[in-house]
Chain A
């Protein structure tokens, strides 16, 4: 996205660092639990508390999750990687260093495809993915002069996923985060809940004149929702443009986003701390991966969003937009496919997609329930669609039936039967009604004869009213045209 400044246009260059908490039972280097919300310090081993003499032992599943994520990002898996110590002081980091990966990460370059608003797809590079420990949690609001520290989160495995500086707008940053989250959830390697902090994002941003070399970047930390990431980008880009246009220079620094004041500000304390003095952790040997293990993980990967989207478009003829909406969440895609599969073979994919993304998701959102608790399941929705397909009810009546199903949980057939909503397809019966209405409204009939086609629509409405919407609209139209000579 280009920014119009006072002295011309500027382009923003954005790279994102995402910290994704790995789904595992135990921590990266200890046997303590990773479960969220336990009593303070109740899920802490002596390793996590950095007691002298304790040694870290790497968790196999955490490694497997990193490999799986790397494969899902079509990235290069490094069969040799090294854990290093990143040294800094902070009360929630009891060892005085974080075990991380620096020069030799477990995953190298990969790619991610962004699904943009207009149905366009854009490729963004992944720079690397590495494994590291999470820090503990500091509570600053318990006491006016003290900070309380809980180490339950200390040592939980994180994947730091770094994008290349390929993003150019807040919208692309949002699309990147949504796509990454979708892939992580499909893979089952991170739950992607930004509001619980299991996925966190730092924004690297610089501005430049289009075509110029990269400008000086700042790193904005602590942005914990996609909306805030987009806001922070907008605000920080504008700040940098103002600094440059008033003759100043952008300082390379860490900044903090405050969504309440709508500004970013410098985190001065981080400035000297940037000398992390990385060195290979003497307690851990390099991690060497067996290629057979990597191949085994690769063979067991699920169908990922991009492949599913392509299949939905190619096999079912869905639009890029519909396919994307359906595949964003694995459960939604599975629901669509469950509805698609009827007892007598495949239902019409476009009708199913329309109903699932339209009325069905609409009802889910409005009632605030998830797929699992929804009163209408795939089988019942399929039953309703079958009644439309075999002309038992019209599409219009189906909307009412669906509402009734959502309220009562009853199957469509039962409701149609009980309420007598069956469509009238018997031409003779409809013809009698049409004849009566034409005879009762000679003035309107005359208008049609004079060429006023709009009045035909009025007649259709009258017939529908007389039949409580049960007449087959195609038959009604055809009969009226014949009778009125329209």
Chain B
């Protein structure tokens, strides 16, 4: 599957990764190769086959509705680059 430079820039922006012109050029080839490789799966006939969601036959486990966690605000913000009064602090993001 051919991929163009605009698509590469688009993906980079969605992933919040800054790339320069040379990197973009080389990623056009790299991402294209990866997609081509994965596309080989398209050769398999999957007509009428349900997508496999798990390798083991099991149902989604459900939890009881009980408060069993929380009460550790210091732990929660411990790794934050910046915190104040129990809040995470980030650069202003208002419009």
Interface, chain A (partner B; CB < 8 A): 24-26, 30-33, 39-47, 49, 57-63, 87, 89-91, 138-140, 142-151, 256, 267-269, 272, 275, 277, 280, 284-288
**Set of chain A residues within 8 Å of B90, measured between Cβ atoms:** 91, 146-147, 149
Identify whether the interface residues of B are mostly helix, strand, loop, or mixed: loop
Known: A26-B69, A58-B62, A149-B90. 8 other contacts (CB 8 A): A25-B66, A40-B85, A43-B71, A59-B63, A59-B64, A61-B64, A285-B60, A288-B60
Please state if A39 and B86 are interface contacts (CB–CB under 8 Å).
Answer: yes
Residues of chain A lying within 8 A (CB to CB) of residue B68: 26, 31
Chain B positions within 8 Å of A288 at CB level: 59-60
Let me know if B66 and A26 touch, CB within 8 A.
Answer: yes
- Distance (Å) between the CB of B62 and the closest chain A CB? 4
The answer for the CA separation of A49 and B91 in the assembled complex, in Å, is 18
Q: How far is the CA of A91 from the CA of B59 in the complex (A)?
A: 33
Chain B neighbourhood of A47, CB < 8 A: 69
| Residue on B nearest A60 in the bound complex, by CB | B62
CA distance A205 to B17 in the complex (A): 35
A285 to B60 alpha-carbon distance, docked (Å): 5
Q: Mark B40-62, 1 if CB is under 8 A from A, else 0.
A: 00000000000101100011111
Hey, which chain B residues are within 8 Å of A41, CB to CB?
Answer: 73, 76-77, 86-88
A277 CA / B85 CA spacing, docked (Å) = 35
Known: A41-B73, A89-B16, A272-B13. A145 touches B60 (CB 8 A): no
Measured between C-beta atoms, what is the minimum distance from B71 to chain A in Å?
A: 6
The answer to whether A44 and B59 have CB atoms under 8 Å apart is: no
Complex Cα distance, B16 from A144, in Å, reads 25
In contact, B54 and A151 (Cβ under 8 angstroms): no
Cβ of B95 < 8 Å from any Cβ of A? yes
Contact of A31 among B67, B77, B87, B92 (CB under 8 A): B67
Q: Which residues of A contact B59 (CB under 8 A)?
A: 285, 288
Contact B65 A148 (CB under 8 A): no
A142 to B64, CA, bound (A): 37
A147 to B58, CA, bound (A): 43
CA distance A33 to B94 in the complex (A): 28
With beta carbons under 8 angstroms apart, the residue of A32, A42, A144, A269 that contacts B95 is: A269
**Contact: B63 with A147, CB < 8 Å?**
no
Query: Are A31 and B60 in contact (CB-based, < 8 A)?
Result: no
Q: Which of the residues B51, B71, B92 comes within 8 Å of A140, measured between beta carbons?
A: B92
Q: A41-B87, A149-B87, A286-B53 are in contact. Are A57 and B61 (CB under 8 A)?
A: yes
Q: Do the beta carbons of A33 and B65 come within 8 Å of each other?
A: no
Determine whether the beta carbon of A149 is less than 8 Å from that of B88: yes
Given A32-B67, A280-B53, A286-B53: A140 and B94 interface contact (C-beta under 8 Å)? yes
CB nearest neighbor in A for B67: A33
Residue on B nearest A144 in the bound complex, by CB: B92
B-chain residues with CB within 8 Å of residue A26 when the two chains form the complex: 63, 65-69
